[in-house]
Amino acid sequence: MDIPVPTQAKNKNKYNYDEPKEEKASIEFMLMTRRGNKQQFTNINVPISAEFATKFKERTQAEKAEKEKMKQVVLGIHERQEEEDYQEMIASMNRQLPTVNANRERRVRYQHPKGAPDADLIFGSKKR
């Protein structure tokens, strides 16, 4: 079972960045035990030669490699999308707009006839 354990464990030893890292002969695990409702945390040092420790180390390395691979895939997709957007922008800038004759596309406005309307033309002549 692989469950993250929330702990407030503070490292009492200050890490000196000038010193090179040393490969430890053991891996430190935190064991959570319960007594009633109370949780207790115990540090356990497991030697690297133990099967559990080697499998754990292999699994963490595999997860790290998979994460790096996914990062590269996503980065590649992102770069391709940016390149496509850039090419599309360049193509739209190079595309020439067709020359448009503005006079041809003007609509003829309706001109209302001046003066009074001819009633005989509208209603017909009154002949009784």
pTM (2 decimals)? 0.45
**Is 52 within 8 Å of 46 (Cβ atoms)?**
yes
CA distance 24 to 46: 11
Q: What percent of the chain has pLDDT over 70?
A: 71
Confidence of residue 8 (pLDDT cuts 50, 70, 90): low
**Is 7 within 8 Å of 41 (Cβ atoms)?**
yes
Quick: pLDDT tens for 74-105.
999 999 999 999 999 888 888 766 666 666 66
Quick: pLDDT tens for 23-50.
677 888 888 888 888 888 888 888 888 8
Quick one: how far is CA 58 from the chain centroid?
Answer: 30
